[in-house]
Amino acid sequence: AGPSLPTGAGQRPPPAARGRPAMRPYAPWLLLLALSACLAAPARPVYTNHWAVRVLGGPGEAARLASAYGYLNLGQIGNLENYYHFHHSKTMKRSTLSSRGRHNFLRMDPKVQWLQQQEVKRRVKRHVQSDPHLIHFNDPMWSKMWYMHCGDKSKHCRSEMNIPAAWQRGYTGKNVVVTILDDGIETSHPDLIQNYDPLASYDVNDNDCDPSPRYDTSNENKHGTRCAGQVAAKANNSNCIVGIAYNARIGGVRMLDGDVTDVVEAKSLGIRPDYIDIYSASWGPDDDGKTVDGPGELAKQAFEYGIKKGRKGLGSIFVWASGNGGREGDHCSCDGYTNSIYTISISSSTDNGLKPWYLEECASTLATTYSSGAFYEHKIVTTDLRHGCTEGHTGTSVSAPIVTGIIALALEANPLLTWRDVQHLIVKTSRPLHLKADDWKTNGAGRKVSHLYGFGLVNAEAIVMEAKKWKKAPTQHVCIGSSDKTPRDIPAGHTVHTTSVSNACANHYEQRVVYLEHVVVRVTIEHSRRGDLQINLTSPSGTESQLLARRAFDISNEGFKNWEFMTVHCWGEKAEGEWTLKIQDTPSHMRNPERKGKLKEWSLILYGTAEHPYNTTGFHHSRSRMLEISPSKMESSKAVIFQSQMEVVEEEDEYSGPCHPECGDKGCDGPNADQCLNCIHYSLGSVKAGRVCVSSCPSGYFGDNTAKRCRRCQKGCETCTGRGRDQCTSCRRSFYHHQETNTCVMVCPPGFYSDESKAVNGAGCVPECQPGMYFSKGARKCERCHLSCQTCAGPGKEECIQCAKDFHLHEWRCVPACSQGFYAEEVPGLPYKVCTRCDDNCSSCEGSRKNCVKCKEGFSLQNGSCITKTCTDAGKTLCELVKSNKLCERKVFVWLCCQTCLMAG
């Protein structure tokens, strides 16, 4: 007897056992067992066109059988005697169905003892995998930028803001101009000097063109330089950090190092609005929990001018830090800068998704970035005064520049974005993720929002992808409701409710608001202790916004006079309906009960659009007849009503004027396209919404030529040839077109990756190419990278992602050898070396930037260091003491013991 056969396809199943009692059909336990088995079923196997066959008679017999049945015999399988590898070229290379037909003849041949069609098995290498698209920069602080990327050995890092992913899509802030409104920026800093833009700069404090900070022993004026580095520090220059928009132009306005007045602020906000794209501000009124303050009249006018005239009418973009008064119980709705519809107010989260101790809560916050937390948690690295770097940047001052940099990436992707488009993009692409808060809620438009974090963590990649295909938001409408001047007492320990029913200016087309953006409540309140008040607003959709929380340190008796509270929590909701204002007085100290607070006046201002910002296809509702609806196709009760309506119409005077060009041969009831009795081409709409005749169907619909109707495509399809899921020809935003199946998917399947193609069908699922190849959008196939690239994004030598063997990464290019002044450094996690700059005085070095082998002119080489030829020691004994006591860090000792200190590094 031969060896036992392996299990697999080709074995005959055992005959059914006899004499066993039959199982009762539909037994509940059996159904449950079957259901659980279905739920746990693994993915379907994938069969190849290769077979393993056991043949008796040796290699000759195996070759004969292969030839007889149309196979290619690829020889014996390893050392397994009588087992052979057959290949069938006319069978599909991969299929989810096993092959039968002609293969059964081979299976039934008496010389074949066993046969198995080969399945694809998933196997993974059990090593710690690094990111194949890992980006590396030679800037020394790059590894400490935990909030932007995760390297191979990084711990507690966060990459959810997807900034490197936006870079990999080709966006680095090119041609975008940013200015930092602060205490000045160090224009000569080596990480800023290449991107510094004097045209985006001014010194308002001293009325000159140099925004450099005033230096003192405490480095008090470091704030602007730190913020500027976050936005636009140059990448790959062996200095400090990598800016988020590292190819953007960066300027500074020095305006905080002196008396800040309304004139100073107005001047600063109005510096070259046609040249500067983004103004970033990480300052505001005192975060002391008792101040209520905002921009003066001039600053308000500067904001409005920038919004209306800046960027040649597209509107200046103002980014503001939400405030650091959390420990004092401050509320950023008492800050008129972050509370403005014209600013993008940004909050912060720790790396663990927790509320930082300094965070202020309010309904005007739009989104969030990572920042510092407690003293033992991560802080932010950036540029610092005196050409330095710091690992101690903190607070919401961090968050505004991060978002400023991300907006710069979006403006590079689409320079035609308006100031409102940018806010829409942030709302649409930000996500709650792991940010922890008790007040996350879903508003009436289906968006999650929080008073701590706004709409969530910003997502750079999502913003640039959306920006690239964004269509301008519809015109902003402003509906100002009538002011309610009925005085209402606010008794201590009680809550006052007042409502306003708004039609959202439905009768005034240029003011009508259907879909909300910002909502402003303007109030005048008298109160003996302002900090005891809490104010909430509830929208018609039921979304509650906390406009003001109690502030324990606010003992002011000034109340609020025409103060505007703003909320973004109703973004996307319908505006029309009942709005409820709730004011609660909770005394924190003993007060005179006879002195009641009083709501003297309040009004509602609604900002938004008449059309949906993400769907510009609208319908003009017909007030006349509906198109070709047969009563026989309706329910009988509805048909009676319809018939009676038809009779009423017939009693009216018959229309005899001209019809719309799209009307068919049955005439019309008026001159418009929605008054046709039938259509020449297609009718668009429904019985409920009304129908209109159109010459062609809009996006999301296809033309049914038989019924002359525009019918809706499958969800996700932008254009299609039919209603079927596999009849999509292009896809809507956030979907990808799978060309092999003609479907629109939100996530590309294994073996494909999502790509923003310039092809007619937009974003698509592109096949993954083998190492050393890239997918050519023009040829629609994988083509070979440049010989210096191991992986690449295109054919050029500047488009390498990873370098080939024996090549080094040097300033974004893969080169066989580093240029003079650089050495090849091994970087953990990278299979190739990176060219890193030698020490300043070296013209060449080896192994380390400090191990010089050749010096620049004017320096001499001593033990691997380049020292100036005029560098001498004042005395051997003194200098030995200086060296042993580590005093070389002090300038006076460097001067006295120049040679010894340089040798000591």
pLDDT value, residue 895:
66
CATH number of 163-469: 3.40.50.200
For residue 903, which amino acid is it? M
Three-state DSSP class for residue 320: strand
Q: Which residues pair with 85 in a beta bridge?
A: 52
CB-based burial label for 62 (10 Å; 0-12, 13-18, 19+): buried
Is residue 431 predicted with pLDDT exceeding 60? yes
Coil vs helix vs strand at 104:
helix
Gap between the Cα atoms of 110 and 360, Å rounded: 82
Write out pLDDT tens, residues 836-877: 888 888 888 988 888 888 888 878 887 777 777 667 777 778
Residue 343: phi, psi to the nearest 5? Answer: -110, 155
Summary mean pLDDT of the chain: 84
Please name which of 620, 623, 639 lies closest in space to residue 631, comparing C-alpha atoms. Answer: 639
Report whether 65 contacts 111 (CB < 8 A). Answer: yes
* Residue 457 three-state SS: strand
Tell me, what's the pLDDT at 37? Answer: 41
Note the pLDDT tens digit of each residue in 184-229. Answer: 999 999 999 999 999 999 999 999 999 999 999 888 999 999 999 9
Catalytic residue among 201, 340, 397, 430: 397
Concatenated DSSP letters for 684-715?
EEETTTEEEEESS--TTEEEETTTTEEEEPPT
User: Catalytic annotation on 206?
Assistant: no
Compute the average pLDDT of residues 71-95: 85
Of the residues 103, 136, 149, 182, only one is catalytic, namely 182
Three-class secondary structure of residue 660 per DSSP: coil
pLDDT of residue 905: 60
Q: List the chain domain ranges.
A: 43-119, 163-469, 477-588+595-609, 789-837, 872-905
* Residue 22 CB coordination number (10 Å): 5
Distance between CA atoms of residues 35 and 152, nearest Å: 42
Alpha helices in 359-432 (DSSP H): 396-413, 419-429
On whether the CB atoms of residues 381 and 389 are closer than 8 A, the answer is: yes
More confident call, 713 vs 771: 713
Please say if the pLDDT value at position 634 is more than 80: no
For residue 39, name the pLDDT band (cuts at 50, 70, 90).
Answer: very low
3-state DSSP assignment of residue 305: helix
Residue 722 main-chain phi, psi, to 5 deg = -175, -175
* 3-class DSSP state of 374: coil
The answer to whether residues 364 and 333 touch, using CB atoms and an 8 Å cutoff, is yes
Comparison of pLDDT for 192 and 636, the residue scoring more: 192
Contact yes or no for 874/898 (Cβ under 8 A): no
Q: Looking at residue 582, what is its pLDDT?
A: 97
Q: Tell me, rounded to whole angstroms, the distance of Cα 436 from its chain centroid.
A: 19
Q: Flag whether pLDDT at 522 surpasses 50.
A: yes
Cα dist from 280 to 182, 228, 556, 876, whole Å: 9, 9, 31, 53
Do the bridges between strand 477-480 and strand 597-609 make them parallel or antiparallel, or are there none, so unpaired? antiparallel
pLDDT bin (cut points 50, 70, 90) of residue 32 is very low
CA angle, 391 as apex, 387 and 397 as ends, to 5°?
A: 90
Task: Give the other-Cβ count within 10 Å of 411's Cβ.
Answer: 29
- Determine whether 154 is an active site residue: no
Report the alpha-carbon distance of residue 589 to residue 328 in Å, rounded. Answer: 17
605 pLDDT above the threshold of 60:
yes
> Please, are residues 191 and 141 in contact by the beta-carbon 8 Å criterion?
no
Domains 163-469 and 477-588+595-609 share a fold: no
Q: Which of 208, 190, 206 is nearest to 198 (CA)?
A: 208
Burial of 452 (0-12, 13-18, 19+ CB in 10 A): buried
At residue 266, φ and ψ (nearest 5 deg) are -65, -40
pLDDT of residue 650: 38
Q: Is 720 left (phi over 0), alpha (psi -120 to 50) or beta?
A: beta
Report pLDDT digits (tens) over 796-816: 887 887 888 889 888 778 899
The residue type found at 232 is: A
- Specify burial of residue 48 (Cβ count, 10 A radius: 0-12, 13-18, 19+): middle
Angle at CA 711, nearest 5°, toward 708 and 716? 155
Q: Are 356 and 349 in contact (CB under 8 A)?
A: yes
Between these two residues, 706 and 30, which has the higher pLDDT value?
A: 706
Per-residue pLDDT at 43: 58
Q: How far apart are CA 189 and CA 384, in angstroms?
A: 8
> How far apart, in whole angstroms, are the C-alpha atoms of residue 675 and residue 668?
6
The residue written with tokens 């294994």 in the block is 750
pLDDT tier at 472 (50, 70, 90 boundaries)? very high
What confidence score (pLDDT) does residue 774 get?
83
Q: Which residues contact 284 (CB under 8 A, 6 or more apart)?
A: 320, 321, 323, 335, 337, 338
Torsion angle of C-alpha atoms 844, 845, 849, 855, degrees rounded to 10: -50
Type of residue numbered 481: G
Residue among 85, 136, 149, 223 flagged as catalytic? 223
In this structure, what token pair is assigned to residue 80? 């397994």
74 close to 51: Cβ distance less than 8 angstroms: no
Give me the residue label for tokens 């938004």.
Answer: 608
* 43-119: CATH superfamily: Peptidase S8, pro-domain (3.30.70.850)
pLDDT grade for 151, boundaries at 50, 70 and 90: low
| Under 8 Å between Cβ of 408 and 323 | no
For residue 91, give Cα distances in angstroms to 115, 241, 562.
16, 56, 79
User: What's the distance, Cα to Cα, between the start and end of the chain in Å?
Assistant: 80
Q: Which residues lie below 8 Å from residue 614, measured CB to CB, with a gap of 6+? A: 428, 733
Instruction: Extract the tokens encoding 747.
Output: 């996530």
Predicted pLDDT of residue 637: 39
Nearest to 601 by CA among 717, 474, 484: 484
The predicted-structure confidence for 102-127, as pLDDT tens digits, reads as follows 677 788 788 888 888 887 765 543 33
Q: Out of 13-17, 94-98, 163-167, 722-726, which region has the weakest mean confidence (pLDDT)?
A: 13-17
- CA–chain centroid gap for 405, Å, is 12
**What is d(CA 269, CA 260) in angstroms, rounded to the nearest whole number?**
13
Judging by DSSP bridges, how do beta strands 317-321 and 343-349 pair with one another?
parallel
Q: Which residue has the higher pLDDT, 855 or 648?
A: 855
Q: What is the pLDDT of residues 269-299, one digit of tens each?
A: 999 999 999 999 999 999 999 999 999 999 9
Residue-wise pLDDT tens digits, 67-82: 888 899 988 887 678 8
Burial class (CB in 10 A: 0-12, 13-18, 19+), 215: middle
* pLDDT band (50, 70, 90) for residue 475: very high
At residue 883, the pLDDT reads: 81
pLDDT digits (tens, 9 = 90+) for 671-705: 888 888 899 999 988 766 678 898 888 888 999 98
Topology adopted by domain 477-588+595-609: Jelly Rolls (2.60.120)
Largest pairwise CA distance in the chain? 119
Is the pLDDT at 561 greater than 80, yes or no?
A: yes
pLDDT greater than 60 at residue 402: yes
The average pLDDT across 366-385 equals 90
Asked if residue 846 lies in contact with residue 853, where contact means CB atoms within 8 angstroms, the answer is yes
397 noted as active-site residue: yes
* Of the ranges 136-150, 262-276, 792-806, the best mean pLDDT one: 262-276
